[in-house]
A and B are shown apart, each in its own frame.
Chain A
Amino acid sequence: MAGMNMISAAQRFHAYANPARFMALSARLLMPLAALTALLTGAGLWFALAASPPDYQQGETVRIMYVHVPSAWLAMMGYGVMAVASAVALIFRHPLADVCAKSAAPIGAAFTFLALLTGSLWGAPMWGTWWEWGDARLVSMLVLFFLYLGYMALWATIEEPVRAARAAAVLALVGSINLPVIRYSVVWWNTLHQPASVFRMDGPTIAPSMLLPLGLMGAGFTLLFVTLLLVRMRAEILRRRVRNLRLAQAGGAGEV
């Protein structure tokens, strides 16, 4: 019985979000989303770079945080999207799920890289070095970056999409189970070696004047993620159509 239910649920899924319908829907959503992204990010940047006061401790460098924090947030959210989509792909065999997971990976990796880069730039004046192993957040972010790269490498290596999707989904799920363990071990390792006073990225409290730009940037980056995800998913669907056409070309018109 449960199996029957599952099948019908899966079929319903197919009916609601088959690739053709997705293409039509996403085409309509794309422009408004892009416009909203530009608006929110633009406003956020204005507040972050011009209309908010410098920090009394960190000075102007605090402005890096307005890019760093949302990037770090999306780096994690990207992995979340990837893991959930992978689970859906494995369990329900939803045709869009592995497209979504595959498309989310490079975007998540890009945000992770941005978080690492801004963290390093922020660290340079604070720590006097470009990279500080004493910061558990930054180091965890680096490990996350490796997970993304491994995931993308797996997709790139396996030629056949169905097999690649299966393998990549397993990797993403194993990764998502492992992430907390990795994070915990990094923090533990860090406290073990902690020099007395490392200046932390998060700081003690966030002043109210920082909340508005941070919130705007966060919302803007999230929308940017969604927009890019849609664009990449559309590209991936088209890429698979091209692949199928080529296969048909080789098979159908073989013996002229």
Chain B
Amino acid sequence: MTRAFFALLARDLRLAVRLGGGGGMAVFFFLVVISLLPFGIGPDRELLAKVAPGMLWVALLLAALLTLDRLFQADYEDGSLDLLTMGLLPLELIVVAKALGHWLTTGLPLVVAAPLLGLMLNLPGEAYPPLILAMLAGTPALSFLGAIGAALTVGVRRGGLLASLLVMPFYVPVLIFGVGAADAATGGFAGEAGRQSLLLLGAVALASLVLGPLGGAAALRANLR
């Protein structure tokens, strides 16, 4: 069973690397959204620094959503998903493998790109450690919660847009606590608030690691049979 799990994960990673789509495209999207921001609100450094954590989180969220719709759809369209469910791996673990693959090829590259974009928004130095930490904790939640939306819309026409709409509300806590962690460091709140935000974010992420596979598997069962 472990072997099947890693075979599936390795296959997804290999496909992501070969297609060059997925993660690279998400990082590109992230970069473009962040770069458009100053054109919209002006190049004022203080202003940019102030909105930087929030904008980085929102853009990261959108970039993660963008790649979500292919999570099960590609396997559904070519018939692989049927065969995957006929293996010995429970559907829940299939969802875990897919979501983990999504995080490794999309979430992680986005977190790596974030500090660079922080520089462009003049994010103050002390905000980087909590921001990166929060993103490392929060992005798995994006992948695992997103898996539910992707599973719900598998086989649906224009499912990508629908999946985004369905998942967005689930992302609200991640956004609030994620921004909270970085904001606290720049002096928005007292230091204690930042620690709290990080802990709450961690809790949300851990909960999503359970909720995502269960919900995703249930949604796939409902959709496929």
Contact of B43 among A133, A150, A153, A156 (CB under 8 A): A133
The distance in angstroms between the C-alpha atoms of A133 and B43, with both chains bound, is 5
Would B122 and A142 count as touching, CB distance under 8 A? Answer: no
The distance in angstroms between the C-alpha atoms of A150 and B25, with both chains bound, is 9
* Given known A-B contacts A156-B20, A156-B21, A189-B39, A129 and B28 have beta carbons under 8 A apart: no
In this assembly, does B15 line the interface, its C-beta being within 8 Å of a C-beta of chain A? no
Give the distance to chain A from B23, nearest Cβ to Cβ, in Å: 12
Contact residues on A (Cβ < 8 Å of other chain), bracket = 10 to 19
Contact of B35 among A120, A142, A193 (CB under 8 A): A142
**Number of B positions contacting A (CB below 8 A):** 20
Would B28 and A153 count as touching, CB distance under 8 A? Answer: yes
The distance in angstroms between the C-alpha atoms of A157 and B42, with both chains bound, is 34
Contact of A134 among B21, B43, B119 (CB under 8 A): B43
Would A153 and B25 count as touching, CB distance under 8 A? Answer: yes
Would B35 and A146 count as touching, CB distance under 8 A? Answer: yes
Contact of B24 among A120, A153, A189 (CB under 8 A): A153
The residues in A between 155 and 169 inclusive whose CB is less than 8 angstroms from any CB of B are 156-157
In this assembly, does A131 line the interface, its C-beta being within 8 Å of a C-beta of chain B? yes
Would B20 and A131 count as touching, CB distance under 8 A? Answer: no
CB-nearest residue of chain B to A198: B43
The residues in B between 177 and 202 inclusive whose CB is less than 8 angstroms from any CB of A are none
Give the distance to chain A from B17, nearest Cβ to Cβ, in Å: 12
Contact of B119 among A130, A146, A156, A189 (CB under 8 A): A130
Would B43 and A129 count as touching, CB distance under 8 A? Answer: no
In this assembly, does B44 line the interface, its C-beta being within 8 Å of a C-beta of chain A? yes
The distance in angstroms between the C-alpha atoms of A141 and B24, with both chains bound, is 20
Main secondary structure of the interface of A (DSSP, over half): helix
In this assembly, does A149 line the interface, its C-beta being within 8 Å of a C-beta of chain B? yes
The distance in angstroms between the C-alpha atoms of A245 and B32, with both chains bound, is 39
The residues in A between 111 and 146 inclusive whose CB is less than 8 angstroms from any CB of B are 120, 129-134, 142-143, 146
Give the distance to chain B from A102, nearest Cβ to Cβ, in Å: 14
CB-CB under 8 A from A133, the residues of chain B are 38, 43, 48
Would B44 and A129 count as touching, CB distance under 8 A? Answer: no
Would B20 and A129 count as touching, CB distance under 8 A? Answer: no
CB-nearest residue of chain A to B39: A189
The distance in angstroms between the C-alpha atoms of A129 and B24, with both chains bound, is 27
CB-nearest residue of chain A to B38: A133
CB-CB under 8 A from A146, the residues of chain B are 28, 31-32, 35
CB-nearest residue of chain A to B21: A157
CB-CB under 8 A from B20, the residues of chain A are 153, 156-157
CB-CB under 8 A from A132, the residues of chain B are 43
CB-nearest residue of chain A to B119: A130
The distance in angstroms between the C-alpha atoms of A150 and B31, with both chains bound, is 12
CB-nearest residue of chain B to A156: B20
CB-nearest residue of chain A to B42: A193
Would B24 and A131 count as touching, CB distance under 8 A? Answer: no
* Given known A-B contacts A153-B25, A153-B28, A156-B20, A131 and B122 have beta carbons under 8 A apart: yes
The residues in A between 183 and 198 inclusive whose CB is less than 8 angstroms from any CB of B are 189-190, 193
In this assembly, does B8 line the interface, its C-beta being within 8 Å of a C-beta of chain A? no
The distance in angstroms between the C-alpha atoms of A142 and B121, with both chains bound, is 14
Give the distance to chain B from A143, nearest Cβ to Cβ, in Å: 8
The distance in angstroms between the C-alpha atoms of A156 and B19, with both chains bound, is 7
Would B122 and A129 count as touching, CB distance under 8 A? Answer: yes
CB-CB under 8 A from B35, the residues of chain A are 142-143, 146
CB-CB under 8 A from A134, the residues of chain B are 43
Binding site for A on B (CB under 8 A): 19-21, 24-25, 28, 31-32, 35, 38-39, 42-45, 48, 119-122
The 3 nearest A-B residue pairs measured at CB: A133-B43, A156-B20, A130-B119
A-B contact pairs, 12 of them (CB 8 A): A129-B122, A130-B120, A131-B122, A132-B43, A133-B48, A134-B43, A146-B28, A146-B32, A150-B28, A157-B19, A193-B43, A193-B44
18 further interface pairs, Cβ-Cβ under 8 Å (given A132-B43, A143-B35): A120-B119, A129-B122, A130-B119, A131-B119, A133-B38, A142-B35, A146-B28, A146-B32, A150-B28, A153-B24, A153-B25, A153-B28, A156-B20, A156-B21, A157-B20, A157-B21, A189-B39, A190-B43
